[in-house]
Structure 1
Amino acid sequence: MAKRQPKLVLAPAQGIPFNLLVLSQSNVRRVKNGVTIDDLAVDIERRGLLQGLSVRPLLDAGGQDTGTFHVPAGGRRFRALEILVKRNRLAPDAVIPCVVKPADGDVSAEEDSYAENAFREPLHPLDEFRGMQQLVDQGGKIEDVAARFHVTPAVVRQRLKLACVSPVLHEIYAADGMTLEQLMAFTVSDDHARQEQVWELIQSHHNQSAHFIRARLNESTVPARDPRALFVGIDTYVAGGGCVVRDLFEEDRGGWLQDAALLDRLVLEKLGAEADRIRAEGWKWVEAAIDLPYGYHHGLRPIEATHTPPTEAKLAEVATLQAEAEALENEWSGADEIPDEIDARVNALDERIAELAGGSWNYDPAEMAMAGVFVTIERNGELSVDPGWVRAEDEPVVESEPHGEGEGAQREDGVDGDHRQPGLAPESGEDEVQTEEEDEGIKPLPDRLISELTAERTLALQDAIAGNPQVAFAAVLHNLVLATFYYGRAESCLMVTLTKVGFGFQPSGMKDSPAAVAIEARHAMWKERLPESDRDLWDALQMLDANEQAELFAHCAAYSVNALYEVAPKYDNGRISAHTVERRLVHSHVLARAVGLDMVASGWKPTADNFFGKVTKARIIAAVTEGKGGETAALIDHLKKPDMAREAERLMDGAGWLPEPLRTPELPAQADLLEAPATSELPAFLAEPDVSGDEEPMAIAAE
């Protein structure tokens, strides 16, 4: 029969006066680590001794009990108690709870010291998060909790944020199913259901990084650096009931605004108030929008503001302000640090001086009554006001001056006073009357005669210009510049017209694209160089050298380039046909090859907003397969459409892939040209689906 092992007998605990304890040389801890002794003393002073000391009787050289005890395990607590005794916070003979081990036991004092530290396990981070949450829930302030545990308040807030993550994800983290970095990423959202949804999403995804988790959680929010948020202000948004989520673990540049609908409403309300204020100044109309489209002022005529120099009183105020600013600068020029109020005062003086010294720019009230203002938001969140634009329908109607009662008068029947309409024979006796009138003195030439003479001159001028390419180029350039910079003022005798292309459909933010920014910058540069009056334009153009004229010509001509695809109606409506669109696009490829157009180099790349989110899942997969290969496309083929579009954008970044409408077809080889049929085929993206049935195909209208 097996012998039963005896039950354990634990060493008794007893209270021992502190002055009977000494630090043992058997303590294996030699290197300072963790909380300092002084901090531990403060903690013991607040909450008492949470763990007793392990002691053994101290024997003399003869093996006799000396009545004192040495401390092989708990040396840091012993030193902390020493500090409290020195500070008179603890009596020298205060009773200390101790576990007394025998002096000659089977286990050595060194082993006890080592075991006490080796088998000690720190709190799991999740327990730490929850523990701090409980302390705050019990009424503790974040600052007080931070002071008690010798951390900063920011650390406590981070722990509290981690404690607020979905309990489902807590359990996964506790079971080592996710990393601490991943758990930290989930704190950017307070929606537990959304957190769990994103976690399920990334389980079958190759990218499970914290950055990817944050991006998925914030995809429906608005960054605090968004122009709309900067324009309204975070404080106004929060006061309106909005919520801002901050990332306590990463740089978030202000966080994310959770209620995009509220933000847009606040933006429109503020823009509307600004529009009402500006309209009250006397403008006919004010158009306010969060994002004005590219070319919003095309076809409109600008009116010029008049500069009014500063008055004597304002100049006197400028002198006074300058004296104050110089005095402050002299006073603080040698200081190591300038107080904030002094710096603010100097800046305010400089702004006021610039405002007064610059005079004012004002518009004629009569012109304001027929003109309007565009109001929008700049990319930095500032209000943008673009005043002084006249629409074509608001242009004043210029009535033609009536002719006198003599030869220039027009009769009610439509016949001029000096001749009938072209093709009609003169009435009997008209020549005799005209001869008698001419004898009375020199009269203006008849309109018909002037038309006949100028017809001959026009024909001769056409022939002369045809023989002088330099003048012909200058005349066309003059006409294009008039249409581009002077808004169609008919000061040219050429019937050449420049039609600026309008974009009926355009993606949001197109006006901030690299091409749009470059065109606007070039336009502003030339506008600065050209004269204010169109009457001085011809002479100004002659002062440009050949290269400058060519550059200006190209800038103006570019506005008429139309490479747009348009849906042609089934039946010709007299405006556009499928044949016209086809020929237009074919010629656009010719120009694109001539200038070496590269849409990738121009800054275009496929995103969820401009492409992937607007096509079918099958086309997304086909695009990723073409751009990155079938293996990459297989990574996203199981995702839902929104997630697939976003992942396709990430995967295709830098691939240099373009959808077919943005590509420039290569010229076919010579052999292909010889074998090609006489008719050209439509590009694939223009090809119509096959039509079943017995109906004959619709004839293409002639161009």
Structure 2
Amino acid sequence: MSAKSVETIVESGTEVFIPLNKLKKSPKNARKTPHSDAAIEALAASIAAKGILQNLVVEPELDGEGAATGFYVVTIGEGRRLAQLLRVKRKEIKKTEPIRCIVDTVNDAHEISLDENVTRENMHPADQFEAFKKLADERGFGAEEIAARFGVTAQVVRQRLRLAAISPRLMQVYRDGDLTLEQLTAFALTEDHARQEAVFDRLSYHRDASIIRRLLTETHVPATDRRARFVGIEAYVEAGGTVLRDLFTEDRGGYLEDVALLDLLVTARLGREADALRAAEGWKWTEAHLDFPRAHGLRRVYPHQVELSAEDQAALEAARNQIDQLSEWHQTTDEIPDHVDVRFCELEAEIDRLEAKRQAYDPDDVARSGAFVILSHDGDLRIERGYIRPADDKPRSQPEQPGDASESLEVGGAGGEAAEGGEGEGDGEENGTDDEEEDCPLSDLLVRDLTACRTLGLRLNLSEQPGIAIVAMTHALAAQIFYVGANAHVVGIQPNKTDLASHAGGIEDTAPGKAWADRHANWARQLPRDVACLWTFVAALDYDSRMALFAHCVALTVNAVKLPWERRQRALATADRLAQAVELDMTGYWRPTARSYLGRVTKARILDAVREGTGTEAAKRIADMKKLDMADAAEQLLAATGWLPALLRTPKHDQGRVGEPPNEQTGATYPLAAE
């Protein structure tokens, strides 16, 4: 039947054109929940591209007396009516646009409205994916054009096209109901059908999407990897590398497929940086390494304090004055202007540059030593200077120097390494022979007898002088920590140092790790260069400085690392008592992030952390998120809460603080309070 104008035909079953502004929503429409904005957008795009493919069903509107009002209410097609109104708002059509309709005054309006929404079946998603692919392949439509014709985003189209490229074998498994859509999207991470099928064959009954993604990328490098951050994705791609992108999850930049190329680029850039450092600073050698070579066995020298030149001192004071002025001008400003913030950063960088000039290496040390150029845990460049190879070292007959000695704690590390070479108790010691009578040297037996008696006397006297005992202890610890191999200590107490970097990768690059390295280097710079002068140095320190050095050396020996194969319950319990005594608050050194904790535990533990830190409601809001999204959300939620996992919490004090201040007149220390 040909369409006719509404003015002449209104019989039931007639196809008519009705002006858009004469159509209203039917009060008998079964759909009470309104259409979503996205659905209306999609309908509008479809109509704009292809017209209305299905007629609206309407009935005449009647007034209270049963007379026609001239308007029609839409029984079926309310979404299409709203889509056309949206097009009017966008000035794509006029409000009088004629709409093809079927008049139905016979059937119950509510029933046919319900029938329209119930007795139908959506196409299988696999059919939809393949239909989109057909549009792209046969009609040459790009993602943006397809998106415009169907009212969806280009990203949605790209996702459907990627799903359409799944291995036909896996697509059939999905059609058969043996794969969920979430699992299918995980396989869509790669377009390599052989790789998809190989991973599918490796799966057991547990087919979580995260496992599928992990297996698909096990030979790749995530863009968050320190190597990728160091080289840069653009440089990697420019060199011919490819990046695998996940269109369905936040992949943080994707996965780099050519690991060999990435490693080559990293090595090349580290080498260039090492060459540039040697040329700029004059080191005898520089070596590039991905990780710090902890078994290097080399001695180390440190920079010493120098005075700034008058020019640099003036520049430093000027920069500080400018920062003070800017701070004063903007102290009441809620938000600092961008240009002021940039200036702050420039001034701070200038101050750091000038302050660095206060430390300088002796030219002789630079000429005979070298530096390691390393890739840090965060993908930044890390430089460790002042290492001397054995062939370049001074003869053993010359005075030992703390800068020459290989320190057992590497700068930048958060924990000490075992001392290279060992102490060698007694190695190279003179036998103490009394040469007073050249022709009649004392026998070894007599020497041992006499020196044993002297040792006993030393013990008796030292036991009565705690202040001197602290000097001796500090000397022994410092001699072994800062002058490795010198064998200059008389107190038989040896520091046992644990390299924390071997237990926690990148710990030396954290703020606490760098703070410890700076503290250690600061002591190394202050100690005398000749170990023979160490006793005089320690004895001459004021009480607070001596105790600070003593505490630093003792702290280096602390080991509260929990290893699965060790049974150190009593030692770890003592670590808890030590944490109480020093009032340890790990919130100053650690915070829960996706990298440090949240991304490395189960979803259940993430939710427990959020529940403890912010409450049940916050945990409920993120409960349905995927693992990576949940970890990121939890990081934001916990940022300002001070939440810590149980292993980092300090038990509450069960007694008062231990220790008493020293007696300044005698130098003696009072006994510690019993715990």
TM tier, smaller: 0.5 to 0.7
For the residue of structure 1 that corresponds to 2:224, the secondary structure is coil
Give how far 1:269 is off: 0.6
Match of 1:168 in 2: 169
Q: What's the TM-score, normalizing by structure 1?
A: 0.58
Q: Is the 8 A contact 2:474 2:549 kept in 1?
A: no
Give how far 1:108 is off: 4.1
Q: Which moved more, 1:11-20 or 1:541-550?
A: 541-550
Aligned partners of 1:91 and 1:166: how far apart in 2?
Answer: 47
Match of 1:488 in 2: 485
Give how far 1:156 is off: 4.1
Aligned partners of 2:381 and 2:89: how far apart in 1?
Answer: 66
Q: Is the 8 A contact 2:76 2:113 kept in 1?
A: yes
Cα distance change of structure 1 residues 325 and 122 upon mapping to structure 2, 3 Å threshold? farther
Give how far 1:532 is off: 1.0
Deviations for 1:339-362, whole angstroms, at most 9, x for unmatched residues? 434322221121112222443433
Q: Is the 8 A contact 1:293 1:511 kept in 2?
A: no
Q: What's the Cα RMSD here?
A: 5.2
Q: Is the 8 A contact 2:40 2:79 kept in 1?
A: no
Q: Which moved more, 1:324-333 or 1:111-120?
A: 324-333
- Among the aligned pairs, what percent are the same residue? 33
Match of 2:285 in 1: 285
Verify: 1:73 aligned to 2:76, yes or no: yes
Verify: 1:249 aligned to 2:248, yes or no: yes
Aligned partners of 2:317 and 2:509: how far apart in 1?
Answer: 43
Give how far 1:290 is off: 0.9
For the residue of structure 2 that corresponds to 1:369, the secondary structure is helix
Deviations for 1:295-325, whole angstroms, at most 9, x for unmatched residues? 43x4x32223233332222233334434544
Match of 1:425 in 2: none
Amino acid at match of 1:464: R
Give how far 1:382 is off: 1.5
Q: Is the 8 A contact 2:306 2:359 kept in 1?
A: yes
Match of 1:33 in 2: 35
Aligned partners of 1:556 and 1:83: how far apart in 2?
Answer: 73
Aligned partners of 1:19 and 1:211: how far apart in 2?
Answer: 50
Give how far 1:218 is off: 1.8
Aligned partners of 2:134 and 2:58: how far apart in 1?
Answer: 35
Match of 1:639 in 2: none
2:56 to 53, 56, 81: 53
- Aligned residues, how many? 503
For the residue of structure 1 that corresponds to 2:188, the secondary structure is helix
For the residue of structure 2 that corresponds to 1:188, the secondary structure is coil
Match of 2:450 in 1: 460
Match of 1:371 in 2: 369
Deviations for 1:487-510, whole angstroms, at most 9, x for unmatched residues? 32365689x99999999xxx9956
Matches within 5 A, 1:424-439: none
Aligned partners of 1:173 and 1:60: how far apart in 2?
Answer: 54
Aligned partners of 2:313 and 2:509: how far apart in 1?
Answer: 41
Q: Is the 8 A contact 2:21 2:95 kept in 1?
A: no
Match of 2:527 in 1: 532
Cα distance change of structure 1 residues 147 and 326 upon mapping to structure 2, 3 Å threshold? farther
For the residue of structure 1 that corresponds to 2:177, the secondary structure is coil
For the residue of structure 2 that corresponds to 1:374, the secondary structure is strand
Amino acid at match of 1:266: L
Aligned partners of 1:58 and 1:497: how far apart in 2?
Answer: 101
Aligned partners of 1:540 and 1:459: how far apart in 2?
Answer: 31
Aligned partners of 2:151 and 2:262: how far apart in 1?
Answer: 40
Aligned partners of 1:349 and 1:141: how far apart in 2?
Answer: 50
Amino acid at match of 1:126: A
Deviations for 1:529-560, whole angstroms, at most 9, x for unmatched residues? 676122333346668999997996897899xx
Cα distance change of structure 1 residues 140 and 476 upon mapping to structure 2, 3 Å threshold? same
Give how far 1:369 is off: 2.6
Deviations for 1:256-282, whole angstroms, at most 9, x for unmatched residues? 222221111111111111221223333
Q: Is the 8 A contact 2:146 2:157 kept in 1?
A: yes
Give how far 1:363 is off: 2.4
Match of 1:448 in 2: 438
Match of 1:190 in 2: 191
Deviations for 1:454-484, whole angstroms, at most 9, x for unmatched residues? 9966752333214543689978985675344
Cα distance change of structure 1 residues 66 and 547 upon mapping to structure 2, 3 Å threshold? closer
For the residue of structure 1 that corresponds to 2:438, the secondary structure is helix
Cα distance change of structure 1 residues 456 and 120 upon mapping to structure 2, 3 Å threshold? same
Aligned partners of 2:167 and 2:461: how far apart in 1?
Answer: 77
Aligned partners of 2:357 and 2:136: how far apart in 1?
Answer: 60
For the residue of structure 2 that corresponds to 1:286, the secondary structure is strand
Aligned partners of 1:552 and 1:291: how far apart in 2?
Answer: 26
Give how far 1:379 is off: 0.9
Q: Is the 8 A contact 2:236 2:262 kept in 1?
A: yes
Matches within 5 A, 1:74-113: 74-78=77-81, 96-99=99-102, 103-104=105-106, 108-113=108-113
Match of 2:272 in 1: 273
Aligned partners of 2:69 and 2:568: how far apart in 1?
Answer: 103
Aligned partners of 2:188 and 2:39: how far apart in 1?
Answer: 35
Give how far 1:146 is off: 4.7
For the residue of structure 1 that corresponds to 2:384, the secondary structure is strand
Q: Which runs of 5+ in 1 are unaligned?
A: 1-10, 401-444, 559-588, 602-703
Aligned partners of 2:55 and 2:532: how far apart in 1?
Answer: 101
Q: Is the 8 A contact 1:228 1:264 kept in 2?
A: yes
Q: Which moved more, 1:473-482 or 1:190-199?
A: 473-482
Q: Which moved more, 1:479-488 or 1:164-173?
A: 479-488
Q: Is the 8 A contact 1:294 1:511 kept in 2?
A: no
Give how far 1:21 is off: 7.2
Q: Which moved more, 1:162-171 or 1:518-527?
A: 518-527
Q: Is the 8 A contact 2:44 2:151 kept in 1?
A: no
Aligned partners of 1:287 and 1:144: how far apart in 2?
Answer: 54
For the residue of structure 1 that corresponds to 2:340, the secondary structure is helix
Q: Is the 8 A contact 1:289 1:375 kept in 2?
A: yes
Q: Is the 8 A contact 1:54 1:99 kept in 2?
A: yes
For the residue of structure 2 that corresponds to 1:173, the secondary structure is helix
For the residue of structure 2 that corresponds to 1:384, the secondary structure is strand
